Amino acid sequence: MKKEDHRDAEFLRRVRAALDESADRMDAETLSRLRRARYAALEAGVKKGGGLWTRFRIPAVGLATACIALFAVFLYFRAPEKPDVSRMEDVEILASGDNLDLFAQLDFYTWVAEEEAHAG
């Protein structure tokens, strides 16, 4: 133990002894008032504390933050979706460059097909 640590320990021992001695010399009325004030402070702390929420607030916030971070990582690194095969056919038609005039009047051809379906 260092010399400073020894001095600090000795100082603390003396302070404790002086405080204990002064507490032993207090009259009953002062001790009663101190005891009532202590119980009032403890009761106010329990009422103000909010119960379980106060005790578990920091761990709950930490857990929520960890869940959100995990969800964000999951969304970032998720597997890409499989391509829609029906849309691939559209891409092939457009990429070929053949007879694109048909697609310019696609609404007309759709209307004709619907009319034939209703007439048939």
pLDDT at 49: 57
- Given pLDDT bands bounded at 50, 70 and 90, which one contains residue 69? very high
Contact criterion met (CB below 8 Å) for 109 and 102 = yes
Cα-Cα-Cα-Cα dihedral sign, residues 24, 30, 36, 40: negative
Which one, of 74, 55, 76, lies nearest residue 66 by Cα? 74
Q: How many domains does the chain have?
A: 1
Query: What pTM, to 2 d.p., does this model score?
Result: 0.29
pLDDT at 52: 59
pLDDT at 24: 81
Mean pLDDT of the chain: 79
**pLDDT tens-place string over residues 3-44:** 778 888 899 999 888 888 887 888 888 888 888 998 888 887
* pLDDT: which is higher, 93 or 106: 106
CA distance linking residue 34 with residue 40, whole number of Å: 10
CA distance linking residue 35 with residue 27, whole number of Å: 12
Return left, alpha or beta for 76; rule: phi > 0 is left, psi -120 to 50 is alpha, else beta.
alpha
pLDDT at 55: 64
Q: How many CA atoms lie within 13 A of 48 on its CB side?
A: 6
Domain that holds residue 109: 3-119
99 pLDDT exceeds 70?
no
The contacts found for 35-41 with CB under 8 angstroms, 24 or more apart, are: none
Of the given ranges (10-14, 54-58, 107-111, 113-117), which has the lowest mean pLDDT?
A: 54-58
C-beta neighbour count of 108 within 10 angstroms: 10
